[in-house]
Amino acid sequence: MIVEFTTNINDAWKSGVISDVGDGVGRALIDAGQAKESNALAQLAASIKADQAKFQDTVTETVRTLTEQRGRPSGPPGGAELNNAVDIGNKLTQVKDEGRRSFTEMLNCVFMAQCNDAPEAKRSYARNLLSRVYSDNTVTYKTDDRGELTETVERGGVTITRTGTESISGGPTYGFAIKPDWATQLFRIPIEDSVIEGAAREVPVGSALEFKWPALDQWKTPVAGQSASYAGFQLSRKGEITQRSSSDAALSMIEFKITDLTAYTTLSRDLMADNYIQMDSTLVAILGEAFQWKKDYEFLNSNGIGSPVGIFQANATQTVTRGTSSKIEYEDLVGMMKQIHSSCYRGLRWIANTQTIDQLVAIKNHAGTYVYQPNAVITQAMDPTVLAGSVPAQYRGTLIGIPVFFTEKVPTLGTKGDLSLVHPQSYGVATRSGLEVAISEHFLFDTDTVAFRFKIRNDAKSLWRAPYIQSDGGNTTASKVGPFSLLN
């Protein structure tokens, strides 16, 4: 590909320079705004044609001058020497004209044969003319019976064939003549979808370092006949003139304190200038996805020491001991559902490690019906539904009617938390600032290195201080419900 550089990249590639580069490199330079496609082929043809004509004119003039310097012939006008000189001049002029025509024709054929946008008929004509008239060697690459690359070289009707492995095995064995193609983008495995972030409740932290949210204290054991949701208020029936009973509610405080999640890396300036996949932009994209993954991981697992308090560590989270070690059974699922407060049913989701799939698909209820349905809601794009791909979906099927999200961010099968039942809206995320990217060319100036610094400021925790104690149940495990349940 012929490109014209629009910026200074190195000593060889400076702004205004026209160069022939590989197609992949050319496309990358153009995408980065460092070069543009050039019509240098036509300019080059005109330049070569002019140089050739100038050279031939110089040769003709030199011969003419030498002839004059030898003097006029000694014989009478029209003698043999003068006639020979005239013949030489005429022949030089003829050669000059034919040389111009033939060289221009050959150059046009070279350009036409290599022009991918030209009609195939014209390209074929140009190739044939180069081969027949100008003795150009035609090289084609084919595949032999074993699927290996072969090279066929036609020289004077003789065909030489050899396997491509001989070329690829080393540069001296023609390997230097084989041109590789390079992808213009870095291959990456896509990051998995978030299972908490995006579904959790956003806390309006604003521009403060700390955020305090007064809340009703609804976590106490209620008086018989009353509800803990009253936070201490009590209702009673009294006669018309009987003194009313006084009661007060209690308040608590939910506190968020912003901390930093950071990353730091460097790139040499030479690497940034010489690579053709825009490594600096790719680096920013990769770390942006890494921050997304890390936040979601912390919202599940973090212990709260200088970081958010993850759902697995929250005081409001309850556990169910599985009936059989390293197994997931129907009774385990029912036990987890019993621990969820009824106000959390809307928006509830299972979160499971992918290693649990073989267990989940085999679970049956007491009626013998499978409780995991990969396409129970046919209007959603859940694999393997008939509408898969028409509507994006993060979850993959339902378990007892509740969506299932599979992720690598939770423990493996047989470990506490391999399966959990959570209500994301009962988890608060306070974001002080989104992803901040800072780039410095001066910090490591003496090493010709550019520093990249990344940061997110946030906090997160359960909005429930503890499990809720249901009315008339007493302060027992059976009476406690909440927004999160783990299988232990």
Q: pLDDT value at position 40?
A: 55
Q: pLDDT value at position 424?
A: 92
In DSSP notation, 304-356 reads SSSS-B-GGG-TTEEEE--SSTT---HHHHHHHHHTB-GGG-TT-EEEEEGGG
Assign domain 201-236+246-487 to its CATH superfamily.
Major capsid protein gp5 (3.30.2400.10)
Q: Is the model's pTM score more than 0.85?
A: no
Q: pLDDT value at position 409?
A: 92
- pLDDT tens for 50-72 read 655 665 666 566 656 655 554 44
pLDDT category at 315 given cuts 50, 70, 90 is very high
Which residues 6+ apart lie within 8 Å of 213 measured at CB? 203, 253, 254, 255, 256, 428
pLDDT category at 418 given cuts 50, 70, 90 is very high
Q: Would you say residue 210 has pLDDT above 90?
A: no
Residues facing 155 on adjacent strands: 158
Q: Would you say residue 279 has pLDDT above 90?
A: no
Extract the tokens encoding 314.
């929250």
Task: Specify the higher pLDDT residue, 17 or 166.
Answer: 17
Phi-psi region of 96 (alpha: psi -120 to 50; beta: other; left: phi over 0): alpha
**Rounded CA gap, 482 and 467, in Å?**
5
In the chain, domain spans: 2-142, 143-184, 201-236+246-487
Phi-psi region of 174 (alpha: psi -120 to 50; beta: other; left: phi over 0): left
Average pLDDT over residues 115-126: 69
How many other β-carbons are positioned within 10 Å of the β-carbon of residue 399? 24
Q: Are residues 453 and 440 in contact, defined by beta-carbon separation less than 8 angstroms?
A: yes
In percent, the amount of the chain with pLDDT more than 90 equals 21
